[in-house]
Structure 1
């Protein structure tokens, strides 16, 4: 397929997460593409202003455009309301609602799936909806919506083998695995400092609380860079050896990654951009051996994997880490498998062959 008119659909553009790396590369592949989303915060993400972002009715509602995730029913309507008529190819990016666009007749819809709705299909990992009144009934409604909108997707791309397996399990669909891209930034060698690092959004399923518990007991210095709803709870339980840096810039992020002894990654992620960013800077990762981390990391070579998601396993992994010698060149070489160049080659080949 050689599309003339391309639409790229992001679920929402209100903060920068790992998923935006995929969006950036797609916009580089298709610079003339039109960018659609339900709601856009230009102050937080000014880099997308040049694309004349097309938004839904949510953009005009003052409260909702900043707290959109508090109103899931409106989000479903918002993604369905986007006018995508006239496009040969529509690429949706989906971790919740993205694939729910209304596909016009004659268009091809490719969904790049970061994960099937986690809080619907894996509430044992992400239980946010089970805590609200009538949450069980809303989950059932979302499941039906998710299954119905799955039928509007012509082709699925999964961000990992882990996600591909869940697409097969929940949607009964095949998918092609194309890992997200990571910009491999070449930097000068940096002397490691005596601290460990957690980095990312502070939300429950990331399980930063387990890292805090482990470091409360061992007394080692742990820096936590990021913001989110778990910040207050984490600060309450953290001892003085644990410092909270808040949200950091991209430059600060890479500086921290280069200087830390190791990145601590205790959650189960569908893929996980941050571990790749870490090994690209010759920094090992101590991670829970589930999800994307198991695909990205090689135990004893690019990091240390632990099997049980608890503070005791993290403590034991830290001891293993201290006994293990890592070769910087091997870490960086592994990271190159996830480079932007490789991602673009795979996407172009995939689209050409459909």
Structure 2
């Protein structure tokens, strides 16, 4: 890539999850000079998983003063991303956006801003508003409508939007009236080997927050008494641990090696939320572990029903329990499950993203 000054804008850096794995690959393509983010709470060791060859220069906003409960101040995010000052000598801005990073302002008209959408953006105020606000949604309705207006306006700022799935691309068109290209995110298949011998437990992975719907998974396994391992952490972990029966084990966040040990040996991987893409489901498939997933979102592009997994139709405990029954009556070929995941390699992502950025730089004479 051209020797120009480049910056990355990320919503926040708090844990090394799926979005951060994508950022790692974007960094390897671009080699950014500066990273701007609302807040960085990520452990130093995890930061170096992203910035492997250098000590990163990370610039945070006032949100850093909110600390770990920063998500409760979501209504300030648009304001603070708008206050990020990108130096005028920067030529390329790449935003990794699942919330508000897309809204960063260019400081010069000859800058190029490409935004990679990791998911439907700022979904607190869109489809997931009923889950996030609950019975108080009507009370917060004026705030939600106000934030939606700002969100749509800020979504017009990138020169180009790249979506991580056709599902997210269609959502971008519907909500923001913006066209988007699609580049599927990377899965580092070298970290996830085929494991054909499975054990009698299921696994689910992710940030334990309301919109991920971990509650229906815990409720289902409370009823069927099968062994479940929940990997991840978040605001609702303690609440779920209190309601979980002894057959359910919570591990907290794990590093890649420990994560692989669980998902490679699991009988099945469960995804209960709506993901724009769902990297964790592909990491499971790369290990030959089939998936039980709620049948909306990016999983429809990555899971082949009857071959690499099964879907459930409603985000309810009963619907998930029925899907588990179907799953246990289906025979899966672990090697065939892995083959499907090979279409989403990290090398493919880097090549496609690199070529896209180079093309747009040339078109804009940057």
TM-score (norm 2): 0.90
1:152 and 1:123 map into 2 onto residues whose CA distance is 24
Q: Deviations over 1:91-119 (max 9, x none)?
A: 11111110111112211111111222211
Match in the other structure for 1:109: 113
Instruction: State the shift of 1:141 in Å.
Output: 1.6
Match in the other structure for 2:29: 29
- Structure 1 segments unaligned to the other structure (5+ residues): none
C-alpha spacing 1:230/1:147, structure 2 compared with 1 (3 Å): same
1:350 aligns with 2:352: no
Match in the other structure for 1:78: 80
1:24 and 1:315 map into 2 onto residues whose CA distance is 36
- Structure 2 segments unaligned to the other structure (5+ residues): 361-366
Instruction: State the shift of 1:296 in Å.
Output: 0.9
TM-score (norm 1): 0.92
Q: Deviations over 1:138-188 (max 9, x none)?
A: 111211111111221110101111111110001111001111111102536
Aligned positions of 1:125-144 closer than 5 A: 126-128=131-133, 131=136, 134-144=139-149
1:42 and 1:119 map into 2 onto residues whose CA distance is 22
Match in the other structure for 1:121: 126
C-alpha spacing 1:111/1:171, structure 2 compared with 1 (3 Å): same
Contact (CA 8 Å) 1:76, 1:100: kept in 2 or not?
yes
Q: Deviations over 1:304-327 (max 9, x none)?
A: 112222222222211221221111
2:321 and 2:139 map into 1 onto residues whose CA distance is 39
Match in the other structure for 1:154: 159
Contact (CA 8 Å) 1:129, 1:139: kept in 2 or not?
no
C-alpha spacing 1:100/1:231, structure 2 compared with 1 (3 Å): same
1:220 and 1:274 map into 2 onto residues whose CA distance is 21
Match in the other structure for 1:97: 100
Aligned length, in residue pairs: 351
SS at match of 1:353: helix
Which 4+ runs in 1 deviate beyond 4 A?
Answer: none
1:3 and 1:129 map into 2 onto residues whose CA distance is 49
SS at match of 2:58: coil
